[in-house]
Structure 1
Amino acid sequence: MFRSILVPIDGSPHARKALSLACQLARHQEVYLLLLHIPEALPHNPPLVWGVGTQAVEASREERARHAQQMVEKAAEEARDLGALHVEMLVRQGDPTRTILEVAKDRDVDAILMGSRGLSDLRGLLTGSVSHKVSHAAECSVITMH
């Protein structure tokens, strides 16, 4: 059925359900899982005093990168605990919809298994959810979890 599945991870309950289902499929069919986390972009707040604000922004970037890596590592550990044998972790920056679609195409995955709603629901209500956009634009199968 599927040889490789892309699972976008954002820490939401729906993403956790998607990871759980992907692990069930991986365990029974020896599917390769590609776990992808795309941290939210930093808000654009230019520093008022050059130097002081710049350091704060850099520290914030480093902290966000560390948090992103921890999130995807935790998801990979959970996937292995649930029986997935082949797990790869990716952290990418950018627009979530575009990044998910690019990774899916570049890695030639058979399916994308993702949560129907992420942690940024308000933005999704205004512009359409990432899962909705991905499901309409992806060249592979897309499964969304509620």
Structure 2
Amino acid sequence: MAFNKILVPLVRSESASVIFQEALKLAQDNNSKLMLFHSVDWDMGEHFGSFNEIEAEVDFSGAYIQAQQERLQQELQESKDWLQTYAEQATAKGIPTESKCQVGHPGSLIRDLAKDWNADLIVMGRRGLNSLQEVFLGSVSNYILHHAPCSVLTVHGE
């Protein structure tokens, strides 16, 4: 089976390089295009902190919301720059490469991008959760395995 379009969702972790190298090798072997993807999962609840911190931040002029939006923009730009370093490596090897960064929950964003971009393969990592953690936290890789419109290769880090 030949893969023409390989979607590579990456997270900013030590395993990203291992996953990228695997996708790069597959792209070279299949003369494929790569789409590198990172999602910024902006769950506002996890960024609020304790009730006292929220109370201290209450501000009717909107400064707190503006600070959150600025933090999100900064995270997006840092993520785009980070993805660009991988895209440049692939392009230097003659592999047509795009990169995309979006805000939202990674599972549905990856699924939708794979469908819209007509990916033949998704190469992604996994967090290595045990079954109890996966029940409570969920797993992006498990979600993708069950909902992706194409084949999925999960790469174990180191």
Question: Is the CA contact 2:3–2:32 (under 8 Å) kept in the aligned structure 1?
Answer: yes
Stretches of structure 1 that go unaligned for 5 or more consecutive residues are: none
Counting matched residue pairs gives 141
The equivalent residue for 2:82 is 71
**Residue 109 of structure 2 corresponds to residue 108 of structure 1:** no
- 1:111 and 1:140 map into 2 onto residues whose CA distance is 6
Matched ranges for 1:76-87 at <5 A: 76-81=87-92, 83-87=93-97
C-alpha offsets along residues 100-145 of structure 1, whole Å, 9 cap, x if unaligned?
A: 0000011111000001128xxxx75623210111011112100001
The equivalent residue for 2:7 is 6
Question: Is the CA contact 1:8–1:15 (under 8 Å) kept in the aligned structure 2?
Answer: no
Q: What CA RMSD, in Å, does the superposition of the two structures yield over aligned residues?
A: 2.1
- 1:72 and 1:38 map into 2 onto residues whose CA distance is 11
* Alpha-carbon distance, 1:18 to partner: 1.7
Matched ranges for 1:1-146 at <5 A: 1-44=2-45, 45=48, 47-50=57-60, 51-81=62-92, 83-117=93-127, 124=134, 126-146=136-156
Q: Percent identity?
A: 30
Q: What TM-score comes out, normalization by structure 1 length?
A: 0.85
Q: Give the greater-gyration-radius structure (CA).
A: 2
Question: Is the CA contact 1:20–1:79 (under 8 Å) kept in the aligned structure 2?
Answer: no
Q: What TM-score comes out, normalization by structure 2 length?
A: 0.79
Q: Which amino acid aligns with 2:89?
A: E
Question: Is the CA contact 2:90–2:96 (under 8 Å) kept in the aligned structure 1?
Answer: no
